[in-house]
Structure 1
Amino acid sequence: MINIIKNVLQKRKVKLFLIFLLGSSLAWFISNLAEQYTNEATFDLHYHSSPDSLLLKKVSKKNIRVRLKASGYQLLVFGFKNKVVNVDLSALRERGRKYYMSPMDYRGQIENELSKYIEILDMDRDTMFFSFQRLVKKKVGVASMVNIDLDQHYLLDKDVKLTPDSITVIGPEIELADLEFIPTKNMTLTKLTGDFSKTVDLELPTDLENTTYSTNQIRVEGEVFKFSERILTVPINVINVPEGVVVRTFPETAEVLCRDRLVNLKKLKENDFEVSADYALFDENDDNILNLEITKKMESINVVRLKEDKVEFILMKQ
């Protein structure tokens, strides 16, 4: 029993010794962290805010070596951080066609990135030089790839509206030379019976790596209404007939089919339309048949078409 008690006491002494040792070591470590030290570090440089009309292509310096002074604690914390500093290019200096930044300019920016408790004792003193590619601005149209599928007896009032119908692109001239329009992504709107407004993404080119776009999506809008029909009988006017000859068509009138809102159809009159047949286009192999064309119509009516676009004729001498 006595031996057991002795063993327990010895273990407690060992534990107390280890606790005191750990405590004194921690106190020594914390005390040393408060001391000032110097240390060398290498910063990777990240450049941003290039002038609007220029694209950064090459830099003379991608990293920079510095000698720092700070407390042990600050250097310890700093050592666990990603050593990347940002350099703002919006205030570059220009000499001829060359762009550069003096050591004084980029040193000030790097100091602003660091803690106020860290002092830069020394750093590279090389002037930074930059190579840019000039950017151009271009306005291109948007092409809708949206398929509009209307339900039976419904019409789209005028054309689909795209907002915006064009966008601004900025990039190197060589990338934009052949860019004429930007299509939307494919979308199908089915069985529409009413007005619609949808947001659709643009199909931006993936090979124009240095080009930016004013937007990556647009709105597609349209008005849909239930239509009525009306048929008007219009005299056929034969034009370019040779002198001394009369052309008589069978029948002498053509039927024009109109589709729109009923209130608009009620206002239509036969003389709002003109149907013509051009004798100069007659082909003798066509068995005395002329093609018909609507040469005058009400532009406000959504659908206007001929029920028959050909007519037979005979020639009669005067």
Structure 2
Amino acid sequence: MIRKLKKEILISIRNRKINVFFLFLLLAFIILIFTKLSNEFTNTITFDINKINVPQENVVLNDSNAKLKVTLKTHGFKWLGYYLSKPKINIDFSKDVIKTKSTFIWDKSKAYLYSDEQFGNKVELLNISPDTLVFKYDVNLVKKVPILLNTDVAFVSGFDVTGNYKLNPDSIVVVGPEIIASKVKSVQTEKLTLDDVKSNISSMVKLKLPKNNKDLKFSTNEIQVSATVEKYTEGTLKIPVSVINVPADMTLNYFPKEVIVAYYTSLKDFKAIKAEDFVVECDFSAIENQQAYLTPKLTKISKLVKSAKVNQQRIEFIILE
């Protein structure tokens, strides 16, 4: 028993020594790495191009292969960052390029001018290849198209929307090559789906932008939709019927002389609606095939009502000798 215990103690001591050895080895390795990364190195690395502030009226063509080989001198930590994420150089088309009739031309002198801004003050820029980059461009079409709202809104009984839905913005600016942008006539929204609505609406709605069309740019990808929702009620009024386009040599009698008009309006406007706000007419010239009745139609409707209809569809008439 004592021998077994002694053996286990010796094994434990040996394992502890091994663990301490590996710990010191790891620390030595980390110190070595930090020492190396603290040193300065000179190397050449490929930078992608990040175009910024390209004029809205222009589209840059066939520039996917535009890259720069940049020779830098800096410490290892900075190089580690370059290798972990693909580095990019910003080319500002508002100040870094010269515009010709069909191309934008960038010269590497601009990179030297803004080297601290591009690479940082602890990086020494030694060389850039090639000396110039040429970007071909085409003229963009800039057009404004309407936004069409797509809704599926269910109101609580007795409630409805007053007026029209308000879209902010109500149109969208499309920018792109004319051959593509000219085909965009309007943009629809995703469906706005609401249930049991009884208060004012205010929602952000995404737009259905054309898919697989990277050459087009849009001023926004969502809009705000708002609407006023109020309590609604129905009402009825007796409205006189008049007959128009009766021949001058004809005497006409018709019945009834008044009809019931049913309308749908907000509760707050209900008392303001008068019979004078509606006009019901029958057009005698619209009679076909010896038709024995006239058809009443609303030719004037109060601006305060959402909808209105004539309850009676026929007006009987006789021609007097």
| TM-score, normalised relative to structure 2 | 0.77
1:38/1:191 Cα in 2 relative to 1: closer, same or farther (>3 Å)? closer
Partner residue, 2:317: 313
1:262/1:248 Cα in 2 relative to 1: closer, same or farther (>3 Å)? farther
* In the alignment, structure 1 residue 173 sits paired with structure 2 residue 173: no
Q: Alignment partner of 2:305: what SS? A: coil
Mapped to 2, the partners of 1:227 and 1:82 lie a distance apart of 61
Q: Alignment partner of 1:174: what SS? A: helix
Mapped to 2, the partners of 1:254 and 1:60 lie a distance apart of 73
The structure whose Rg is larger is 1
Q: Could you give the per-residue CA deviations for residues 256-306 of structure 1, whole angstroms, max 9, x where no partner exists?
A: 112224553334433332210111111125x41222111223212233221
Mapped to 2, the partners of 1:206 and 1:85 lie a distance apart of 27
Percent identity, aligned pairs only?
A: 24
User: What letter matches 2:90 in structure 1?
Assistant: V
Structure 2, unmatched stretches of 5+, are 1-16
Partner residue, 2:157: 152
Picking from 239, 242, 256, the partner of 2:244 is: 239
Picking from 163, 168, 175, the partner of 2:168 is: 163
Matched-pair contact (CA < 8 Å) for 1:251–1:312? yes
Matched-pair contact (CA < 8 Å) for 2:49–2:67? yes
Mapped to 1, the partners of 2:69 and 2:237 lie a distance apart of 87
Partner residue, 1:9: none
Structure 1, unmatched stretches of 5+, are 1-11
Q: Which deviates further from its counterpart, 301-310 or 273-282? A: 301-310
Picking from 25, 43, 57, the partner of 2:47 is: 43
Q: Alignment partner of 1:131: what SS? A: strand
* In the alignment, structure 1 residue 293 sits paired with structure 2 residue 263: no
Matched-pair contact (CA < 8 Å) for 1:61–1:128? no
* In the alignment, structure 1 residue 88 sits paired with structure 2 residue 95: no
TM-fit CA distance, 1:29: 9.2
Partner residue, 2:8: none
Q: Could you give the per-residue CA deviations for residues 184-212 of structure 1, whole angstroms, max 9, x where no partner exists?
A: 11122223233222222111121432222
Matched-pair contact (CA < 8 Å) for 2:68–2:130? no
Partner residue, 1:190: 195
User: What letter matches 1:277 in structure 2?
Assistant: C
Matched-pair contact (CA < 8 Å) for 1:273–1:297? yes
Matched-pair contact (CA < 8 Å) for 1:258–1:265? no
| TM-score, normalised relative to structure 1 | 0.78
User: What letter matches 2:175 in structure 1?
Assistant: I
1:260/1:125 Cα in 2 relative to 1: closer, same or farther (>3 Å)? closer
- The alignment covers a number of residue pairs equal to 298
Q: Which deviates further from its counterpart, 273-282 or 169-178? A: 169-178
